[in-house]
Structure 1
């Protein structure tokens, strides 16, 4: 399990639309760094160390999976993307955005490229005032004093004032949803995405236990003979697992992500079963479906057949290697029919055919933003 770290960042701007600069930076930090948990008021402060326009300064609390060096590099990239231009001029300068790491957990880091806690934070009122607003009781790792006490002892007498404008804290998936079900064809990446969301947002996971099904390898060898026992066993297993696993969690307090939903059983049964078998199967499904907790959001990951076959080959499950393109297309058609007719699910379709969200952070962020803004 990946470890979440708490970092406090200082943001400042004295050029252009200052409110917009800060909001854009916060939004990018939420996308690229982690969950923005707190935002201070905006403090109007005179330029510090040079003659220039007044600054708007804030501090934010962020939960991140990044290590300090990665965090610093990511923040530099965010500054650059927002138009920050660094020059070789000595001393302080005007800037449209400036982001500094103040604290990272309770660590003390001194290297050629990074110093945490920030070496000048305790002498800057425009940093300490917004920081104390959101973290007054935090202990400074070197001074061993609460930040509120450090602010009281500060020698900087600069005049600062709080302005009325407020910034918007980006909401997280866990605040918007309690239960997300992620679905897709064989090899679409639903389990990978579920695990990534769980790691970033500390979600409880419900993963399909497909590997334990004794009928699955036999089905790929003789579909006609083993289709019905396979689909019935899958239905029973999925119903039992969803019932048991969801019962462990508080659906009002826990954030839950699953890599399948019970409707998957119906879609695959439509493809694999004969008409009489399917009618019997549907009766059993309808009885079970009434008892299953419905997700707040149902996400369907679409990948074209070529990419699916590549993914299936790459993950190397022996019994999947003979899957035919026509079979994958039938499954997709089943999902498509379900998507077009099911009216009672909050349903989002995301085409992931041309992206690699497992290995490309920007592609992953694209999916998270689609879910967050849906």
Structure 2
């Protein structure tokens, strides 16, 4: 059974803002889901003389036991450069992660104390906690978090930091992000959501103006070459016009290399060879994305979503066609020199589930500093 758990995050070394973003992104994996994150607060160092801290709290869900969760927290601390030692007293730290509450459990051991033994004495914990769960009753002290704050002896000043920890700074590292994937997987939906939340430029494929699209689905052999050539010219023309405006940050629902994926799937060997030659000429000096975020889903799920969006010409798409596209996407992504991340959206409604949408943002951000594949 999943438990509702609250952890604290603190940092006073290096880029404190970035440390919090990185810690949150690293925490989230197959076993931990971030449900809610508080504001960050800047407070003086507590118990020693040092740099001021950025502090925050996060509510998470996990199947992990308290001790398994503690190991995950320590692992994240180590990745970010913290090495805990037995030195007496408090000290500066690049990141500090603690379990504050693990449901209503009470744990008192040498390794772990839950609820955190000093949380009721610290404004820098109580303030973000009030944002998340003001009515939570402390299982030992038997009063709410809000009541604890009002009687807390800590009179140190805490100021809210002007950052939103829900939206990591993706575009500091990836000024041009391309969302890719098979037909019906949700590329345009995700690109629009990212553009809206980050208030950045949106580049969309203008597929509906291709006069051969509906004809192709009725007679693929006859119209495939004309279809793909029209897409090639149209995508490159619009791409050039778009980048002439010199946008600073962009999210797109396609990548130019998509041309090769569909041409490889739809054209004969000889015609693809001709197409590929033209593509290789046209692609020179074109702006490529810093990262391709590739959405994955099962063929059966793709077919359901294609049916739901009710484009008449797509309704006869066969599973084999989607399978071929998926294979060709995989082959081409592995040949080009653009970093990419594959992410399964099987059974995920990120359009209507804010938790899942923000999880995607953290996976993208994680790629900017952590080389291992997202879990």
1:57/1:126 contact within 8 Å kept: no
- Aligned-pair CA distance for 1:306: 0.7
Deviation at 1:40, TM superposition (A): 3.0
- Give TM-score, length-normalised by structure 2: 0.62
Matched, 1:196 2:193: yes
Q: Does 1:351 align with 2:348?
A: no
- Number of residue pairs aligned between Structure 1 and Structure 2: 284
Deviation at 1:203, TM superposition (A): 2.0
Give the Cα separation in 2 of the matches to 1:39 and 1:32: 19
Residue 310 in structure 1 maps to residue 307 in structure 2: no
Task: Kindly indicate whether residue 175 of structure 2 is the aligned counterpart of residue 174 of structure 1.
Answer: no
Q: Indicate yes or no: 2:231 matched with 1:234.
A: yes
1:174–1:203 CA contact under 8 A, matched in 2: no
1:52-99 C-alpha deviation (Å, 9 max, x unpaired)? xxxx996789xxxxxxxxxxxxx895699954479xxxxx94479323
RMSD: 4.6
CA distance in 1, matches of 2:37, 2:243: 26
- Out of 246, 250, 255, the position equivalent to 1:256 is 250
Kindly provide the CA deviation profile for residues 164-200 of structure 1, in whole angstroms up to 9, marking residues without a partner as x.
xxxx999510212111111101011111111111122
Structure 1 unmatched ranges of 5 or more: 1-11, 47-55, 62-74, 87-91, 104-117, 136-167
1:265 matched to which residue of 2?
A: 259
The question of whether the paired residues in 2 share the 8 Å contact of 1:40 and 1:58 is answered with yes
Q: Cα 1:57–1:230, aligned 2, differ >3 Å: closer, same or farther?
A: same
Partner residue in 2 for 1:163? none
Q: d(CA) in 2 for partners of 1:35 and 1:209? A: 39
Structure 1 residues 193 and 170: CA distance shift in structure 2, 3 A: closer
What displacement does 1:270 show? 0.8
Task: Give the direction of change, closer, same or farther, for the CA distance of 1:35–1:325 in structure 2 (3 Å limit).
Answer: farther
C-alpha distance after superposition, 1:32-61 (max 9, x if no partner)? 67897x863534389xxxxxxxxx996789
Whole-Å separation in 1 of the counterparts to 2:362 and 2:258: 25
Q: TM-score normalized by structure 1?
A: 0.62
2:279 is the alignment partner of 1:282: no
Q: Is the 8 A contact 1:57 1:127 kept in 2?
A: no
Distance 1:371 1:24 in 2: 16
Q: Which residue of 2 aligns with 1:217?
A: 214
Q: CA deviation at 1:25?
A: 9.9
| Residues 303 and 351 in structure 1, CA contact (< 8 A), matched pair in contact too | yes
Distance 2:284 2:217 in 1: 31
